Amino acid sequence: QVQLVESGGGLVQAGGSLRLSCAASGRALSSYNAAWFRQAPGKEREFVAVITWSGGSRNYADSVKGRFTISRDNDKNTMYLQMDSLKPEDTAVYYCEAASHQYGRSPSQYDYWGQGTQVTVSS
């Protein structure tokens, strides 16, 4: 099994940037495809971005395309989400999730997830 811990969240003004990290332990992150999801109060968890185990393929939600960049460093066992041009509607708890075989946009396709990190964007 792999354990995932997110960090890097915080409070930022609209138009600002944050970089989230997802550190893996217990098993190599390179064994998994990995994704970021987010959940705002009163809303369902929604897909943000996904990256294959090698980093060779990435996919983004339309709402973040061009503003967010997903990446990974398997040597450091860490995945990242660079978030630029942040908007108030990006406010949510952000979760990293890992899947042994799946590569998709549904939380149900992922086997492991962390506790989340809060991102708050003020207007």
Nearest to 112 by CA among 8, 21, 20, 24: 24
What stretches of the chain adopt beta strand conformation (E)?
Answer: 3-7, 10-13, 18-25, 33-39, 46-51, 58-60, 68-73, 78-83, 92-99, 112-113, 117-122
Compute the radius of gyration of the chain from its Cα atoms: 13
The answer for 31, left when phi > 0, alpha when psi is -120 to 50, beta otherwise, is alpha
Q: What is the pLDDT of residues 18-66, one digit of tens each?
A: 999 999 999 998 999 999 999 999 999 999 999 999 888 999 999 999 9
For 76-97, the pLDDT digits (tens) are 999 999 999 999 999 999 999 9
Reported as a single tens digit per residue, the pLDDT across 99-109 is 998 889 999 99
